[in-house]
Structure 1
Amino acid sequence: MTVMQKAVTPQMSAAYLESGYDRVAGFVVRAADVAWATSPAAVFEAHGLAFPGAPFRADMEHVDVLRFPAGPTMRFVDATGGTDQRTRELTGGPFVDRPPFTGLGFVAVADHVVPLSWLEHTRIPAGSELVRIGRDGSSTVIGRYVDVGHGWTSDVATVGTPRDPRISRFVGHLVEWNGGHLSADVLDDRAVLALDGEPRAELGFTRTAIGRWRREVPLTELGERFELHVSGRWNGLEVRLVDQWPAENGGTVSRAFYTGHDADLAEGLRLVKVDAAAYEVVVPTENVVDVVPTQLIPQGWS
C-alpha cells in the first residue's frame, strides 16, 4: 500500500477536526519520499509551500500533514508543465502554476528527490491520519479518519460533528447492496456502508456519533463497486462536480472543482483557491454544461 502525504493549511486542519470535513485535493507526495522532513522548516521545503497566498512559514511552531492510502479510484496526475504558457509548452505537461512549482514533476528541494503529483478532489479514505509535526521534532497523530460512517476521531483533540451529516455521492466509493447504491469505504475483505438518513431497523445499521448510520458487510454481499465521476464545463473550464444541494429558489446548486490545471484561467475567473493548484466554485447546476457521468472502476473491481 502506498501512503501519500499532503501538507494541509491550518484552516483545512481545523475543518477536518472541528466540522468533519472529509476531502483532499491538490499537490501530494509519497510519504516515504519525505520521511526526512521531521520539522516544519523541512516540511515547508519538502512540499514546496512558498506558493503565493500560502498560510505557511518555515518558522511555524508546527505544521499538519495528512497521510492517506492511495485508493484505487483516486486520480493522480504527474505535476509537469510550467510557470507560464511558454514553459508549459517546453515540458509538454498540463500545468500552469506558481513558483515554487517547477513543472518538472519534482519538488524544488536540495539533496532529496521528491516526485510531485496532483490529486483530483475526492473523499478521504478510511485509515487516513492527520499528523502534527513540531519544531522540536515531535510527530503527533491529532486525528484519524475512521471511515465514512464514523468520520474523524482523536485522542488529543476535541472533534466536532459535521454541520450537515449528508454524504455526497459525487465523491468516494459507492457500492450496490440490498437493491440500492450506498456510500462506502471498501476495505480488504469488507465494506463499511454509510447512510445519512435512518434506515429500516431490520437492515442492521448502527447510528454513529456524527449522525450517520453505519454497517460492515463482507465483499461477497456486494454487487458493483465504483466511484462516481461527474465532469462538465463551466465558463469554458473543465470541472468535476463534487457536491450538490437544493437551491433556495428551486433547482440545485453544485460545487465544482477545476480540473484544467491552468492557474491563470482559474484566477482570471475568480475561482476560490483552497490550496495550491486546487480551485473551486459554487454555481447553479444549470450553468454547468456538457455534463458526463462516469463510473471509475479499478480493474480488480470489474
Structure 2
Amino acid sequence: MSERAVVQKALTPAMSDAIFRSSYERIAGYVVPADDVNGVAGIPDLLSLHGLRFPGSPFHDELSQVDVLRFPSGSNLNAQRALGGTSAEEAQRNGGTFVEHPPFNGTGFAALDRPAVPVYWVPTHRPPVGTELWRYEVSGSSRFLARYGGVAVGWTFRQDLEARRPAHGRDLSRFTGGLARIAGEVFLADLVEDGVDVVASGSDVAPFLSPSDNGLHVAHLALDAIEEYFELDVRANFNGIDFRVTGQRHDTRSGAVLEATSLTHNVQILEALGLTKIDAGVYEADLPHELLDTAHTEQVQLPGWPGTTRQPS
C-alpha cells in the first residue's frame, strides 16, 4: 500500500457514538483502500466489503446506515496485510498470522464476487490529522459527518451535529500518536501543513501554551521551534500474548494499569483468555503497570520528520 493512500474502516455503532459523545480518539482494526469502495451498491454490499458479518456482529443487512472512517495510511500506522485463515493450519498454509472468524478468508483480500480488494490491519493509533467520518445510507450514497483536526482540536462535526454534541473531555495518550520535544520537554503533538500543534493538560504548563476551549493548553509552532518529532511504539508480553501499550490509567480495583491492544491475531486464543473484543480483530486488555519497566520501547521517526536526518525517498 502506497504511503498516504486513503483507507476506509467501518465503525461499530458503539464506536461511532463514542466519537460523537466523548470524542473517542483511537483507530484500530481492518481497513480497505478507499478507492476500492467506489460504486458500493448499498448496506449489504458495504458489509461484505468490510467483512462485517462475523459472529456477534452488531451489523446486519437491514441497517439504515453504517459509519466509516477514511484516513491516510502513513507507514507510522504499521498497517499489515491480513493474511491467515480460520484455523492455525490454514493460516500457516497462507503464510500469515491471522486466525479469524468467517467471513475472513485469510487471503489478504475481501471475500467478494468482484475484483480483488486488499485487506489490511492497523494497530491502535490516534487518528491521523484529516481523518474524516462518513455515513453510508441504504442507497449506498454517503455523507460527511466530521473531521479530526489533530490532538489540538479533536473531532469537529458538521455544524448541525456539533450543536447537539454533549459536553465532553479528551482522553489523550502519548502511546498512540505524535510527540514533540521542545527544550527537552515532551508534548503531545501533530504535524500539520504549516508547522506543528502541541498540547498539554494540567495547570503547570509551558509559557508558550495558551488555554483552549476544550480544556487543554495548546500552541501552534513553526517546525524549527521543535527539537524532534516522533512516536512511541511500546510493546509488552503478558501470558504469552504480545501487546502494544496504548494508554495508562488508574483503576479503582487494580490501581495503575496499562491499556493495551493485542498484536497476537489468533482469536481462538484471545477469546479463550477473555480479552475484550471492541471491534473485528481488535482485542484489548488491562496489564500490570510494572510491565512498563521491561517493555520494549522504540522511538519511531519517519524520513523528513523534524529531528531526523533521514529524508523522504
TM-score with structure 2 setting the length: 0.90
> 2:40, 2:140 within 8 Å by CA — same for their partners in 1?
no
Q: Is the 8 A contact 2:205 2:217 kept in 1?
A: no
Aligned twin of 1:121 = 124
Aligned pairs for 1:227-246 (under 5 A) are 227-246=231-250
Task: Supply the AA of the counterpart residue of 2:141.
Answer: S
Partner of 2:50: 47
Q: Following TM superposition, by how much is the alpha carbon of 1:247 offset from its aligned partner in structure 2, in angstroms?
A: 4.4
Q: Which of 212, 216, 232 is 1:212 aligned to?
A: 216
Farther-moved stretch of structure 1 (20-29 vs 212-221): 212-221
Question: Is structure 2 residue 90 aligned with structure 1 residue 87?
Answer: yes
The match for 2:110 is 107
Separation in structure 2 between the aligned mates of residue 250 and residue 132 of structure 1, nearest angstrom = 39
Separation (CA, whole Å) in 1 of partners of 2:78 and 2:91: 21
Corresponding position: 1:260 with 2:264? yes
Structure 1 counterpart of 2:311: none
Q: CA deviation at 1:199?
A: 5.4
Distance in 2 between the 1:263 and 1:130 partners?
28
Aligned counterpart in structure 1 of residue 299 of structure 2, from 292, 295, 301: 295
Deviation, 1:225, is 1.3
3-state DSSP of counterpart to 1:267 = helix
Shift of 1:251: 5.4
Matching of residue 172 in structure 1 with residue 180 in structure 2: no
Asked whether the 8 Å contact 2:173–2:246 carries over to 1, the reply is yes
- 1:161-200 equivalences under 5 Å are 161-163=167-169, 165-198=170-203, 200=205
Q: Which amino acid aligns with 1:67?
A: R
When structure 1 is superposed on structure 2, of 62-71 and 5-14 the one drifting more is 62-71
Among candidates 60, 73, 77, match of residue 74 of structure 1 = 77
Counterpart secondary structure, 1:108: coil
Cα displacement string for residues 231-266 of structure 1 (whole angstroms, at most 9, x for unaligned residues): 001111000111102344785211111001111111
The counterpart of 1:6, out of the listed 5, 9, 17, is 9
Q: Which range is displaced more, 219-228 or 32-41?
A: 32-41
Query: How many percent of aligned residue pairs carry the same amino acid?
Result: 36
- Counterpart among 273, 279, 289 of residue 275 in structure 1: 279
Counterpart code for 1:275? D
- Counterpart amino acid of 1:205? S
Question: Aligned pair in 2 of structure 1 residues 40, 48: CA closer, same or farther (>3 Å)?
Answer: same
Counterpart-to-counterpart distance in 2, 1:53 and 1:250 = 29
CA contact (8 A) 1:192 1:214 kept: yes
Partners of 1:254 and 1:100 in 2: CA distance: 32
> Structure 2 stretches of 5 or more lacking a match?
309-313
Structure 1: which amino acid aligns with 2:52?
L
- Which one of 132, 135, 149 corresponds to residue 132 of structure 1? 135
Letter in 2 for 1:84: S
Give the distance between the partners of 2:84 and 2:173, measured in 1 at CA: 32
Tell me if the contact between 2:43 and 2:139 (Cα under 8 Å) persists in the aligned partners: no
Aligned match of 2:157: 154
Q: Which amino acid aligns with 1:281?
A: A
Distance 1:63 1:55 in 2: 11
